[in-house]
Chain A
């Protein structure tokens, strides 16, 4: 068993419950033990880092400190949480004054000795992936969004404009990644609440390009991307629907888990029909 400090973040128990369910389910099979961080705090996404530099570092630091004390690498499935943890770490290493300030408010010093990983990286590096089912004939568009790929310091791939890591995962599950050029486009993110028309335009283009590239499904690694791409298809007035899955759910399918175990019924656009027709359920 490979142990990691697990930082689920807020979405995984609310809008992205199924991301949390599928993550916990598959990690057992992959030989990864998720040690949940005790009394974890908000990563500060958006609100903290646009208002206070100190808070933007201190909030993630609370979680980083816990992991560092256990000498465990820290991992989050949420791209926003991952990005905040990683950037706080980078900022504190780059800026001694910030680090001192964080030490003062936290009462202890974060030394920066641990690895900060996205769930995808943990699976790729340490997971023992043994698919029970080959997802043959499934055409998948891997959507990376922005938080996993920008700024360059957090991106685990050298090809930031055309990352490959999720595509490679798709291949290892026996499915086929489609070639498309909207992998890292912005989905509209938090404009979802304030200027929904922007999300309709941006996410709509992403969906259309995936469809044009002949994809059956889109996979994502971020709760916010998921909600923009999945929940708003109805409002966009598209003449097609395309199911959007978490990459953990795709792994789950290959490991033989069922539709509801993986929380797939929670999606707005249901994948069941397609999966059935491909004989994958």
Chain B
């Protein structure tokens, strides 16, 4: 016969103010298996825990029920007390009589007390069937993979490496640097983006703990926390990295110049053999097969002829490498909203309607116009420039309900830069609300208006009309209630941030979630902002949500700290409340395999009895989160969730049925 102790907590007046604790204690006394039943003002306090420990010892209890707050709050606390008293920590059940009772039924004290009694009865019924469970351990591969080499990936890789762990940084473009390398100055301090980024890029290249794989992508992910096996596709560069000296002669002489430069946001052309920008890391070009004359026509080979290092190799092929990692950081960043979906702004077909990123490239002295803002239609320096915010942000009609967070600030920055470059110019900004919540941000936006004379108009632009030598911008100023018409030389659209096109694909490889807007979902929006629902996979930067550089860097360092905490462990402690397959009952139907949201089920051929080999389900113990979906879905009742077995649940249901 079980020897159960029931301990009811008052939680000050939190519980006792509504529930009649004495009645609960009294009712528990009579339940089968219960040896003692008592109450205390604060069960989680030191004296409260000692009460439990001493009673276990004195009465020789083997099971405990605590009626208190939610198990989320104090289950671990009471498990530790039970363990200190010499019992297996899993011989404990919590009846949640605070969140589930006193806090929600304060209007009816009698009913609340009845419900509390019922919940205690359920816990007692369940605990009678509890079995001792043992913690498990798995080994850890002490190496991290960082996917994406923007500022988020760079910062995470440097921090993980600084902790002494090996890192592989995989970047799909020919160079690391991400969007930050495309920017001119950065708000609100206006430091030059390249000046603060390039040293970090170089640091990555020189760090002994970091292996860089550029022009590479993740192709497959297997395994689980501490033991991921990842296949990485290295795209053919057609340049031998060991031989190339980065002199750039190949790019200079390459005759193909029609392809638009992605790095320059399509406002200039690039060659077929190219590095995206002069400070690229690694400073080794790639041949873009699609624009290369040799690959198209079989003739040319100019780059091969001029290369002094004999580094050109047209025979290279894509290569797949397989690597093992203990942790994975996803830092794949963002794309910009394609404004050709805005008919009222000209379907992306009016030459002098450009995007903020294009303006960054123009105004950057290293950019294709040498730092001169020239409008695309005729190369004229614009005098009147209209900025339109929230293009592809906060616009339900375009399927983009969220705020992109950085556009208010980058628009203010660009308006300021414009005035600095061209003192005679005048900028107008159409905005919905100004969101400038960072440190020094509001002051910055104020300065842009008062010192630089940028005119802010609260309202939307209804339409941009293309006139012979100017654009007519019609909109509304909702503060004055007036319709506004501005004769502008150029319009700059603050296009919003959206996840990378391939982001969902990568999510599926990694089994991590994404929200309705396609951004990767963190484990908890407040308390676990860099973890994902897959243990060992972490997030950093704009792939999780739009954010500026300060927030991106902070998040990257947070992620690196989490990775460090994981990799520093000797081995991995695994919760024992996970699923277990009884291979004798398993029919191999794969219901559980498909149902598991964590990919914790594998199918394996197993010798069930001698000579009888069957394909049955197997639970990957370090991956299983104990959600129970497999157990619920199993037709053969071959799967049970430890700590939540069918028997335990039936006992609880029994209580509800017969009373």
Q: Which residues of A contact B (CB under 8 A)?
A: 159-162, 179-182, 209, 212
Contacts and interface: CB of A to CB of B under 8 A. Distances in A.
A160 B343 contact: yes
Contact of B468 (A159, A162, A212): A212
Contacts of B464: 181
B499 to A, nearest CB: 25
A257 to B, nearest CB: 35
A88 to B, nearest CB: 25
8 contacts: A162-B343, A162-B347, A181-B466, A181-B467, A209-B465, A209-B467, A212-B467, A212-B468
B344 interface: yes
A160 B397 CA distance: 14
Contact of A159 (B343, B465, B467): B343
Interface string B23-66: 00000000000000000000000000000000000000000000
Contacts of A160: 343
Given A161-B347, A181-B466, 18 more contacts: A159-B343, A159-B347, A161-B343, A161-B344, A161-B463, A162-B346, A162-B347, A179-B466, A180-B466, A181-B346, A181-B463, A181-B464, A181-B465, A181-B467, A182-B465, A209-B467, A212-B467, A212-B468
A180 B465 CA distance: 8
The 4 closest A-B pairs by CB, nearest first: A161-B343, A181-B465, A181-B466, A161-B344
Contacts of B343: 159-162
What does DSSP make chain B's interface, helix, strand, loop or mixed? mixed
A260 to B, nearest CB: 37
A182 B344 CA distance: 11
Interface in B449-463: 463
Interface residues of B, number: 10
Interface in B435-485: 463-468
Nearest to A213: B468
A52 to B, nearest CB: 29
Contacts of A181: 346, 463-467
Contacts of A159: 343, 347
Contacts of A162: 343, 346-347
A38 B143 CA distance: 83
Interface in B340-367: 343-344, 346-347
A179 B467 CA distance: 10
A159 B340 CA distance: 11
A161 B465 CA distance: 11
A162 B350 CA distance: 12
A161 B347 CA distance: 9
A183 B468 CA distance: 16
Nearest to A160: B343
A209 B463 CA distance: 15
Contacts of A161: 343-344, 347, 463
Interface in B269-328: none
A181 B468 CA distance: 11
Contacts of A209: 465, 467
Contacts of A212: 467-468
Nearest to A163: B343
Nearest to B466: A181
B462 to A, nearest CB: 10
B300 to A, nearest CB: 38
Contacts of A182: 465
A158 to B, nearest CB: 9
Nearest to B347: A162
A112 to B, nearest CB: 27
Contacts of B466: 179-181
B398 to A, nearest CB: 13
A159, A160, A161, A180 — which one has the most chain B CB atoms within 10 A of its CB? Answer: A161
Contacts of B346: 162, 181
A83 B546 CA distance: 42
A181 B465 CA distance: 5
A55 B65 CA distance: 70
A13 to B, nearest CB: 36
A107 B154 CA distance: 74
B159 to A, nearest CB: 48
Nearest to B471: A181
Nearest to B464: A181
A212 B465 CA distance: 12
Contacts of B468: 212
A212 B467 CA distance: 8
Nearest to A158: B343
A162 B464 CA distance: 12
A58 to B, nearest CB: 31
A159 B464 CA distance: 15
Contacts of B465: 181-182, 209
B138 to A, nearest CB: 55
A161 B463 CA distance: 9
Nearest to B472: A181
A185 to B, nearest CB: 8
A137 B220 CA distance: 60
A160 B463 CA distance: 13
A106 B275 CA distance: 73
A189 to B, nearest CB: 17
A67 B464 CA distance: 42
B348 to A, nearest CB: 11
Nearest to B344: A161
Contacts of B347: 159, 161-162
A142 to B, nearest CB: 16
Contacts of A180: 466
Contacts of B467: 181, 209, 212
A151 to B, nearest CB: 12
B172 to A, nearest CB: 33
A181 B466 CA distance: 6
Most buried by B among A160, A181, A209, A212: A181
Nearest to B467: A212
A91 B468 CA distance: 42
A179 B463 CA distance: 16
A212 B466 CA distance: 11
A159 B346 CA distance: 10
Nearest to A159: B343
Nearest to A161: B343
Contacts of B463: 161, 181
B71 to A, nearest CB: 49
B482 to A, nearest CB: 15
A179 B349 CA distance: 12
A161 B346 CA distance: 8
A124 B347 CA distance: 25
A213 to B, nearest CB: 9
A182 B472 CA distance: 11
Contacts of B344: 161
A57 to B, nearest CB: 26
A162 B348 CA distance: 12
A179 B465 CA distance: 11
A159 B463 CA distance: 14
